[in-house]
Amino acid sequence: MWRKGSILIGVLWCMVLLSVLVIGVLHTARMDLLVVKNYGDRVQAHYLALAGVERAKALLFQDVMSRQQAAKNHTGSLYHDAKDFEDVPLGRGQFQVFRSAPEEEGGGIIYGISDEESRLNLNIATTNQLTNFIGLTPEIASAILTWRSASNQDAETPGGANSDYYMSLQPPYLARNGPFQTVRELLMVRGVTPELLLGNDRNQNGFLDADEDPSDEQSSVSKPPPPHPGWAVLLTVADMDQNVNAAGKDRINPQTADKAALTGVSGITPEIADAIVSYRSKNKLQTLDDLLSVTAQNPGQGGANGGPGDSGSPVISQELLEQIADDLTLDGGTSLQGLININTAGVAVLTCLPGLEQPLAQAIINYRKSSGYFDNVAGLLKVDGMTRDIFKQVVPLITARSETYRIICEGKINSSGARQRIEAIVHLGRSDIKTLAYREDL
């Protein structure tokens, strides 16, 4: 009887051990399956995000074509477009294209794209523009200019640092001595901290999370300050605009064009063309504002109502300049960099322009909200507080159209919640879309 009991106990222990082994194997198999499934979901989320990027690119190209046909520089239709970009279902999941809204738009998250021309270009900005930037000290501005300078010599201003300084750090590294490749490269520049560049957003991405909900945080007593994205959402290293008008046609240079080319611009009569040719022979046209100073060629031969022939009378009024400004250029290049879009830039970026202090920058934003987007750069003359002197300073630095866009898309698998983000910066040419920058795992 005792032997039978011992055998029974042994069998039971064997069953317990086998059960533990089977449970362990099943658990390991389950974990392996979950890992494989999670990886598969991440891959699918990646392609969902990629699909959202491609959708945004297609809509951008379609928007450009329709704007060119209508000869419009800006419509803003894709900047706030929840219909096309919010929780778009596809397969087992969905995607969303979003951006961090500036204070002028109420903050938070907006479903749509953004443009690089609404930002300040790090590689083009002057010392004055950088020091006008919120929170950017002269020392940091000097360090930025020295970093991007082709020379390896230290700047003779406070804050400048060459490779000798950076090689003394741990770990050591060399200064770029060339254009910034990314905005995040600023973190390598003397004086720039993650808090300044990226703010206090949760994942230090330089933009806010699409699912960020302040109500999910702690009580109002212990709640941390609202997420602030820092400088990163106001800076760029990739913007480029073709020197063409809203219809996609090459602009005319009034400094060098002959009479036939000038009269090809709608609104410029032969008499006005003659006056421009005569004026530029004695006075160089430096900005479009100088056209307002062009006077009649033949004094005493005009009518009594201030026509082109009246002695000393201007031949181009402000209204006419607003009509023809988009067809004219005083820059001989085929493409332009570092221009700031007056239809999309916020106060922080607009105040980087010479002569534009915060009240005038806010007046520009108020005008485009109440009266619609600017047809071209000459529309600034309609803004209260804008003088010809200020306009003359800013007009070479601004545009009313963007061609370089930032697309941030997140793909999500509904069943598991797996997510993947992609950020792409694209430039729209006359017949194609070129990807300038691409980043995953944000």
pLDDT digits (tens, 9 = 90+) for 170-228: 999 999 999 999 999 999 999 999 999 988 764 545 454 545 444 344 434 444 555 56
C-alpha radius of gyration, the chain, whole number: 30
- What's the pLDDT band for 310 if we cut at 50, 70, 90? very low
- What's the pLDDT band for 298 if we cut at 50, 70, 90? low
Q: What is the pLDDT of residue 407?
A: 97
- What's the pLDDT band for 154 if we cut at 50, 70, 90? very low
Query: In 420-431, which positions are buried (b, 16+ CB within 10 angstroms) versus exposed (e)?
Result: bbbbbbbbbeee
Q: What is the pLDDT of residue 45?
A: 94
Phi first, then psi: what are they for 253, rounded to 5°?
A: -95, 110
Q: What is the pLDDT of residue 226?
A: 53
Helix (H, G, I), strand (E, B) or coil at 97: strand
**Greatest alpha-carbon span in the chain:** 138
Say if residues 246 and 138 touch (Cβ distance below 8 Å). no
Residue 332 has pLDDT above 90, yes or no: no
Per DSSP, the chain holds a count of helices (H) and strands (E) of 12, 14
Residue 156 has pLDDT above 50, yes or no: no
Q: What is the rounded CA–CA span in Å between residue 90 and residue 19?
A: 43
Q: What is the rounded CA–CA span in Å between residue 98 and residue 419?
A: 14
Strand positions, DSSP E, 304-384 = 335-336, 340-341
| Angle value at C-alpha 347, between 136 and 115, nearest 5 degrees | 95
32: amino acid identity, one letter = D
Query: In 87-103, which positions are buried (b, 16+ CB within 10 angstroms) versus exposed (e)?
Result: ebeeeebbbbbbbbbbe
Helix (H, G, I), strand (E, B) or coil at 268: coil
Sequence spans of domains, the chain:
1-123+239-251+329-442, 125-178+180-213+222-236
- What's the pLDDT band for 15 if we cut at 50, 70, 90? confident
Q: What is the rounded CA–CA span in Å between residue 69 and residue 56?
A: 20
| Angle value at C-alpha 299, between 293 and 304, nearest 5 degrees | 95
What percent of the chain shows pLDDT beyond 90?
66
In this structure, CATH architecture of domain 125-178+180-213+222-236: Orthogonal Bundle (1.10)
Residue 171 preceded by cis peptide, ω within 30: yes
Residue 5 has pLDDT above 50, yes or no: yes
Average pLDDT over every residue of 124-145? 91
State pLDDT tens for residues 216-231.
Answer: 444 344 445 555 678 9
Q: What is the pLDDT of residue 381?
A: 96
The per-residue pLDDT of the chain, averaged, comes to 85
